[in-house]
Structures are given as structure tokens and as C-alpha cells.
Amino acid sequence: MTITGRVPLLVLLGLVPVVLRPQASTVWMWAGLVTLAVLLDWWSAPSPTALAVTRTPTSPVRLGEPTSTTLLVRNTSRRRVDGLARDAWQPTAGATENRHRLRLRGDDRVLLTTPLLPSRRGDLHTLGLTVRLRGPLGLACRQQSLEVPGTLRSLPAFDSRKHLPARLARLRELDGRSAVRVRGQGTEFDSLRDYVRGDDVRSIDWRASARSRNVVVRTWQPERDRRVVLVVDTSRTSAGRVGDVPRLDSAMDAAQLLAALSARAGDRVDLVAGDRRVRVRLRTTGSRTPTEVAEALADLDPEIVEADWRGLAAAVTQLGRRRALVVLLTPLEPSAVEEGLLPVLPVLTRHHRVVVASVKDPTLGELAATRGTAEEVYTAAAAEQVSARRERTAQLLRRLGVDVLDEDSERLPAVLADHYLVLKATGRL
Amino acid sequence: MSSGLRVRVRRHRTALILTAFVLAVVAISVVAGQRPGNTVPLDPENAGPDGARALARVLERHDVDVTVARGAAALESQSVTEGTTVVVTSTEQLGESTLSRLRDHASAGDVVLVDPPGWLTTSLTTPPTRVRIPQHVSGACADPEFSDLAIRTEEALAFDGPGCFGHTEGSLLVSPAAGLTLWGAGQALSNEQVVRADNAAVALRLVGGGSALVWYVPDARDLTAGDALPLSETLPDWILPGLWVLALSGLALVGWRIRRLGALAVEPIPVVVKAVETTLARGRLYQRAGDRGHAAVALRTASLHRLARRLRTGSHDPEDVVAAVVALTGRESGDVGRLLSPHSAAPPRTDRELIHLAGQLATLEEEVRHA
């Protein structure tokens, strides 16, 4: 039961009889009268259970992009219904204008649309629909929260999308080139065409030229139908916040750019994500790849557990034994890498090309450079030591034949994409 | 036309119902609160249950000359001689100035104050106590006029000191000064109660003792500025119940706002830690332990590696790096060697030396960068 703003006003009106008959009993009689009116009104208010509510599903949306959710409210009773409804969502769903006036005649229906603006990645949930229906006098209301389940999937931010056009242009350049500069095992023969000045003389096909009137060169196209396996580490080391963004989110950004790029390049993208257990194992296909990767990553949060690299490596192996580019998106945390990742790396490097992409913390460099007070100098020493250990771990990985990319969160996606293009151009995928 | 009216009635139905409700209540309270004629308690012309017209009429029938004097001016126009009784009801309208004027004017006769409030009689007696009367109160005093009578009423004022109609808290009838009588059981004189027990007899003997009776009804307008009336006497009667109404209204206001439209929206917060936290903690650990040796080695090694990379010496051997630095900057090789070699040089003894070392290393790197 809830009372409305009319009740205090009505009580205040009691001043009139009190002035006319200034006695304590007048006050109590008036209070009793108002209470009676409120109870009567509450008793005669329609019940919120008379409303049948259904929610139309909302399709996934990028973090920070506006969308809306729609409820269909039907009045199943024959009575008029007047009141308020609040469609509650968790705060990061951004449901700001979620209060709706309800005015329905018997058997009438209405659509309530609440605008949403997700400010966090992941599955955002509703917290129920609260309905408050007034009695005929407007003094009291019946209030009840109805369960109307609903979810908004907010896809991870893809800020590095801006790097995609430039990388795609590079990809097209690769595609049309007469010959890849390095003639490795991976470049594939495409066709023969006439020699044009500027072509690499080494790509002239003498046997074909002998049969033709002109000099003919072989053209090559970059290898297609390769495999790219993205491994996203969601363990404790990914929970670290660099600036305002967790390392995991920066890693997702990089993963999405690489997925979009390699899908356009005609490669197959697989995704593995996990910590102590494998949380995502995904095979994508063709043009839907970027969306599928984004949706699979959307609801992942870092867990405060150590990564089980043995399990993750097994998941990578299960996705196929064919040679692939395995991108490990994990922070270069010396102890975690040395104890967890190093023992299982040989299994991966034997069959695949492995890249470790790590989000570097620029604060570390700043701390090392600040040397004003004793405290700062000690911290600088600690920062130097941490950096040195990171560097040593990176060297260790490189010695195992792993490419290590340790970059700031803004630069990592672009650097990873460029590295992929270099590998592709040189036929080392 | 009539359908338009019906629509309008329906649209404003709530407002109409509320207005009708309020009007009804106002009308009822006006009718209930209004009684024809005089409503002042114990007024000689009030015929209601709390009036005293019956007493006035009976006195007149017993050949007492009853004169009603309303206000101080009316009182002073009446002559008060020996054998005249001045009875004062509505004593809460009296002030110190009007009381002394009354006593000066009526010094020849007897003055009876009915239910005098405490603040009025402070100079004469201690403030009276309001007492409940369970059954009868009998006269039981030296005065033969009242000794054999008993009154019956619900409530009365009991004055301290000897007098008639004794009660546990005091007496209902006292005479603190000559020619002045205080009567605490005013209700016994009312139309409703005057016929109970011996009330009528007491009333007649109290005020009808003389040949003439001046019934003085004081008026608060006669008061002068010097009269200290308590606040409760000057404020209108409805103030206290009005405050109650306001308080209840405030309570209703709280009741209106107290319930939210549904539960608070909660946000599940994931675990996120600042990535440099461990580094900062390690720095604090070094400082607390005073581990200057360790810190100096870390700083020197880092500088050495950076310089080696920048100068492309190919190895991290301190001698090679020192040689390269000397060749580039022209510094003295002993100085640079002491500064850079992590293990041969002595560790700094104080924090000041450590800060100095850190600064020198930074300067050296800066020099190499700009050389």
C-alpha cells in the first residue's frame, strides 16, 4: 500500500474544522476520517496482477550505442486502470526515462518503450517492472513488482575499428601485387600476366615467356584459408586496470580488430577464452566472424584465479591440428607466464605460429622516471625491476620462437593487426 | 449537450468528489460548532449546559437584585455598597490591573472569584491544583453557612490553606483576604450541574448572601499593557489542535514519500585491480626495509641495459657500455664506471645518497640521448 500526495493535503484541510471547533477530538476525528478514506480507496484500487506484461527481445548493441526496450502491457480486467509503471534495469543499462504513466481501459493494451544506453560490456539485466495503481479517489495505491525478464547484450567497445580501413587497404595492396617480395613457401601462385616495368625480375617466368611473344611474370596472391586462433586470457592478470580500462577489455579490442581483418582476408577465425576453465570455444565462419566474436566476448569478466594454460592449449588443439596463427592475448606477467604458459608453449609452437600480445602499463615507465623523493626513488627502483623482469620474460618467449608484442592499450590492436599483415605478406602464417 | 456534460463530470470526477467531501465536512463542523446565543461558560445569559442563566434567574426570584456588568466600565458605573456581592466569572479574562480596579471599586462589598487561574492569584495564595472529585465534597468547616452542605461535580480547583469543602489537595472555598472569596468549583454553578446534590444551596449562599448582586463578566480589552498574560491566554484556541493537524500532515507527507517505486537498482561490480598496485607495494617494501643496495642495483642495471641498447654495444657488460658512454660524452671513465657498474660500486649509505645516485643516472642517460 502506498499513499499519494493528496493525503497530506487532505490532512491539512483539517485546519478548517479545527478552527471552527478548536478541540483535540476534532483532530482525531479528522484523522480517523482521512484514514478511513485512504483505506477505502486502497481497498477499491485495482490489483497490479490484472496486467499481463510481455517484453519484446532487444537485439545486441555496441557499448555506448542507444537502443530501447519495449513492453506490451495488457489490462486483462474490465476495470479502468490508472497509475505508474517503472521498468527497472541495472544502472549501467542507462534506462533513464523508465517511468511510464499507465492509463488503460478494460481490455486495453499499450506499448511502453524505455530508451537504453549501455555503459558497460556484458549482459545487462532487468530488475522487474514495478506497477503502482491508484484507487478511484487517488488517495492510495496498490504497488507490486512483476517479474518481466529481459536482457540486453552490450557488445564490447570496438574503438580500434578506426584502424580497420587502413589495414584493409594494405590487404588489398597485398592481394594485387605481382609478386610478394619474399618468395616463401606460403605464397600461392595466382596467374601469369605481361611484364610491366617495375616488376621484380625474379618473378619472370622464363618458361612461359619462351612460349609467348612477351615477357611474362607470375603473380602471386597472399595465402588464403589460413587459420587464426585467438586465445583470450580471462584470469587474474587480465583483471588489472590500466588507466580506466581493464586489460581484458583492451585485449578484446585487439581481438576484434584482428578477427575483422583476418575474416576479410579469407582466413578462418577461431576463439578460445578462459581462465581455470575454458569459457568460450568458438568456430566462426566467413562474414559473420566479427559479430560472432563480439557476442562471444561480451559477457566475459576477469576471474581472480590463475589461468590453466594446459586446458586452454588443449582447447586450441581440439579446434584442429592444422597449422594456425595462435594469438595469446595475455598480460606479460613474469610469474604467471613462467609458471603457467612456458611449460605448455612447446606443444603450441610445434604445430603453430604463436604470438603473445600483451597490454603494457605506461604508468610503469612514468614511475621509473620520477625520482624526486626517497619514496619515488624506491618506487622507481621497483618499477625498473618489474620492467626488467618483463623484458626477461619476453626474451625467454622469443627464444622459444614466439612473437611478443608488448604495447600500450591504444597501440596494441594496430600493432597486432600490422604484425598479422607482415606474417601474411611474408607467407609465414 | 448532456453527453458533453457527462464527459466533463467524468473527467473531473475525482476533483468533484474531493470538493464535495470537503464542503460536507466544513458544513457539518460549522453546524456542529455553532450554537445560538451566548456560549461563554458560566455566563449569566448562557442557557446551554455550561452557562449559568439558571442561577441568575433563581437569584432574581429570591429578590436579589442581579445586575450584569460586562467590562470594567460597566462595573464602575455600578455602586457597590455594603451587602453587595460582586461575583466574577470568566476570570481568565481578568488581569492584574482589572483585578485591582475591581477590588478598589468593590472594597465595600464582597468579591467572589469563580475558578481564578493560577497566575491571577499569585499575590494572594499559592497556585491551585486541578483535582478530580470522586463523589461528594462536604463543607466540613467552621463557617455555619456551608458546614452541613455537600457539593457534587467532576473537576475543581483546590486552593492551599484552610477553608471549606476540604479535599486532599486543599480546599475548594478559601478566603485569602477580607471581602475576597475564591471558589474553585465553578462547574457546580452551571445550568447542567446546579441541581445536583446541594450545589444549588451552596451557589445561593455563596453569591446570594447580600441584597444585591453584581455579576461582573470581565473583558480582556480592558487590560493594560502592563498585564502579563501568559502566552496560552492570548493565542487563539485552535492553535494547539492546529499544530496537531500540521504534525499529522507532516507524517502523511513522510508516508507519501517513504515508499520507492520498486527496489533500488543494483549493479553487479566485477573485480578490477589497478595494474601497478604490486609495483607500488614493492617500492614501499624496499623503503620500509631500507634496502638501498637492492634499489641501487635495480636502478643501475636498468640504466646500463638502456644505454647498451641505445649505444648498440651488443653486450650488457659494464666495461663495454662505460667505454661507449665515455667515447660519446667525453666524461671521465672512472666516474661513469662508479656510477654504472651494478655490483662493484659501494651501495649508497643514506636515502639522500640514493636519491643523488638516481638523479645522476637520469642525467647521464639524458646526456647520452642528446649527444
Q: Which of B177, B193, B223 is the last residue of a domain?
A: B223
Is B264 within the bounds of a domain?
Answer: no
Shared domain check, B284 and B212: no
From A233, A244, A227, select the one nearest A297 (Cα to Cα). Answer: A233
Dihedral angle sign, alpha carbons of residues B69, B75, B78, B80: positive
Shared domain check, B286 and B209: no
What is the per-residue pLDDT across B305-319, written as a single tens digit (0 to 9) for each? 999 988 888 787 888
- Is residue A181's pLDDT more than 60? no
Is B319 within the bounds of a domain?
Answer: yes
Shared domain check, B195 and B93: yes
pLDDT (0 to 100) of residue A187: 54
Instruction: Report helix, strand or coil for A234.
Output: coil
Is A121 within the bounds of a domain?
Answer: yes
Is A398 within the bounds of a domain?
Answer: yes
Number of domains present in the structure of chain B: 2
Shared domain check, A86 and A23: no
Shared domain check, A232 and A371: yes
The values of phi and psi at residue B129, to 5°, are -110, 140
Name residues whose C-beta falls within 8 Å of residue A41's C-beta, 6 or more positions apart in sequence: A135, A136, A137, A138, A139, A140
Shared domain check, A419 and A316: yes
Average pLDDT, chain A: 89
Q: Which of A155, A181, A212 is the last residue of a domain?
A: A155
- Is residue A180's pLDDT more than 50? no
- In chain A the first and final C-alpha atoms are separated, in Å, by 68
Q: Is B45 within 8 Å of B90 (Cβ atoms)?
A: no
Is B22 within the bounds of a domain?
Answer: no
Shared domain check, A237 and A364: yes
Q: How far apart are CA A250 and CA A160, in angstroms?
A: 10
Residue numbers of chain B with a pLDDT score lower than 70: 1-2, 29, 32-37, 225-234, 344-345
Shared domain check, B213 and B283: no
Shared domain check, A66 and A22: no
- With CA atoms as reference, the chain B residue closest to A85 would be B261
The boundaries of the domain holding residue A25 are: 2-44
- Is residue A183's pLDDT more than 50? no
- Chain B within 8 Å of A392 (Cβ-Cβ)? no
- Is residue A155's pLDDT more than 50? yes
Question: A384, A386, A389, A390: best mutation site toward chain B, by most B Cβ within 10 Å?
Answer: A384
CA distance A274 to chain B (A): 16
Residues of A in contact with B32 (CB under 8 A): 21
Q: What is the ipTM of this complex?
A: 0.70
Shared domain check, B200 and B302: no
B282 and A304 within 8 Å at the Cβ level: the answer is: no
- Is residue A302's pLDDT more than 80? yes
Shared domain check, B207 and B291: no
Dihedral angle sign, alpha carbons of residues B153, B156, B161, B167: positive
A22 and B236 within 8 Å at the Cβ level: the answer is: yes
Shared domain check, A197 and A120: no
Number of domains present in the structure of chain A: 4
Shared domain check, A52 and A37: no
Shared domain check, B205 and B121: yes
Shared domain check, B297 and B212: no
Is B73 within the bounds of a domain?
Answer: yes
Structure-block grid coordinates of residue B169: 489537595
Q: How far apart are CA A118 and CA A350, in angstroms?
A: 43
Among B238, B256, B275, the residue with its CB nearest the CB of A22 is: B238
Is B235 within the bounds of a domain?
Answer: no
Is A162 within the bounds of a domain?
Answer: no
Among A15, A89, A380, the residue with its CB nearest the CB of B358 is: A380
- Chain B within 8 Å of A210 (Cβ-Cβ)? no
Q: Which of residues 342-361 of A touch B (CB under 8 A)?
A: 361
Mean pLDDT score, A228-235: 95
Q: Is B310 within 8 Å of B303 (Cβ atoms)?
A: no
- Is residue A222's pLDDT more than 70? no
pLDDT (0 to 100) of residue B230: 62
Residues of B in contact with A333 (CB under 8 A): none
Is A370 within the bounds of a domain?
Answer: yes
Shared domain check, B75 and B190: yes
Residues of A in contact with B308 (CB under 8 A): none
A374 and B354 within 8 Å at the Cβ level: the answer is: yes
From A140, A4, A117, A112, select the one nearest A51 (Cα to Cα). Answer: A112
Is A23 within the bounds of a domain?
Answer: yes
Q: How far apart are CA B173 and CA B138, in angstroms?
A: 11
Instruction: Report helix, strand or coil for A280.
Output: strand
Q: Which of B223, B245, B269 is the last residue of a domain?
A: B223
- Chain B within 8 Å of A373 (Cβ-Cβ)? yes
What is the per-residue pLDDT across A320-364, written as a single tens digit (0 to 9) for each? 888 999 999 999 989 889 899 999 999 899 999 999 999 999 999
A414-426 exposure pattern, b = at least 16 Cβ within 10 A, e = fewer? bbbbbbbbebbbb
Among B28, B262, B296, the residue with its CB nearest the CB of A88 is: B262
What is the per-residue pLDDT across A108-142, written as a single tens digit (0 to 9) for each? 999 999 999 999 899 999 999 999 999 998 999 99
Q: How far apart are CA A67 and CA A39, in angstroms?
A: 42
Q: Which amino acid is at A200?
A: D
Is B30 within the bounds of a domain?
Answer: no
Long-range contacts of B304-313 (CB under 8 A, 24+ apart): B304/B340, B304/B341, B304/B342, B305/A388, B305/A391, B306/B365, B307/B340, B307/B364, B307/B365, B307/B368, B310/B368, B310/B369, B311/B368
What pTM value is reported for the model? Answer: 0.67
B267 and A27 within 8 Å at the Cβ level: the answer is: no
Q: Which of B199, B223, B247 is the last residue of a domain?
A: B223
Q: Which of A174, A202, A221 is the last residue of a domain?
A: A221
- Is residue A177's pLDDT more than 70? no
Shared domain check, A352 and A402: yes
Is B251 within the bounds of a domain?
Answer: no
- Is residue A286's pLDDT more than 80? no
Q: Which of A136, A155, A174 is the last residue of a domain?
A: A155
Q: What CATH code is carried by the domain that includes residue A263?
A: 3.40.50.410
Beta bridge partners of A405: A357
Shared domain check, A273 and A408: yes
The boundaries of the domain holding residue B318 are: 277-370
pLDDT (0 to 100) of residue A179: 46
- With CA atoms as reference, the chain A residue closest to B302 would be A384
Shared domain check, B162 and B69: yes
Is A169 within the bounds of a domain?
Answer: no
Shared domain check, A98 and A25: no
Is A36 within the bounds of a domain?
Answer: yes
